[in-house]
Amino acid sequence: MAPDPSPAEPVEIASDPFPLTEPVEEKAEEKAPRTRTRSIVLGSLLAVSLAGAAVFGYAGWRIATQKDATLQVPPQVGAFKLNTSDNGRSTAEYLQTALSADVDLDRAVGAVYSDGSGNDVLFFGGTTLLWTPENDLDTAFGLISDAQGSVTGLHAVTAGPLGGTMKCGTTKSDGTDMVVCGWADHGSLALAMFPGRSETDSAGLLREIRAATQTRN
Other C-beta atoms closer than 10 Å to the C-beta of 85 total: 11
For 129-156, the pLDDT digits (tens) are: 999 999 999 999 988 876 567 899 999 9
Q: Are residues 53 and 77 in the same domain?
A: no
Best-predicted range by mean pLDDT among 29-33, 54-58, 139-143? Answer: 139-143
With 0-12 / 13-18 / 19 or more C-beta atoms within 10 angstroms meaning exposed / middle / buried, residue 6 is exposed
With a cut of 60, say whether residue 112 has pLDDT above it: yes
Which structural domain range is residue 61 located in? 23-66
Is 104 inside any structural domain?
Answer: yes
Cite the beta strand spans of 39-175 per DSSP E.
Answer: 69-71, 76-77, 80-82, 107-114, 121-127, 152-157, 165-173
User: Global pTM?
Assistant: 0.72
Which of 155, 156, 194 is CA-nearest to residue 177?
Answer: 194
Q: Are residues 180 and 202 in the same domain?
A: yes
Q: Are residues 95 and 196 in the same domain?
A: yes
With a cut of 50, say whether residue 115 has pLDDT above it: yes
Q: Are residues 180 and 153 in the same domain?
A: yes
Q: Are residues 34 and 133 in the same domain?
A: no
Q: Are residues 27 and 127 in the same domain?
A: no
CA dist 103 and 198 (Å) reads 27
Q: Are residues 152 and 78 in the same domain?
A: yes
Going by pLDDT thresholds of 50, 70 and 90, the confidence category of residue 32 is low
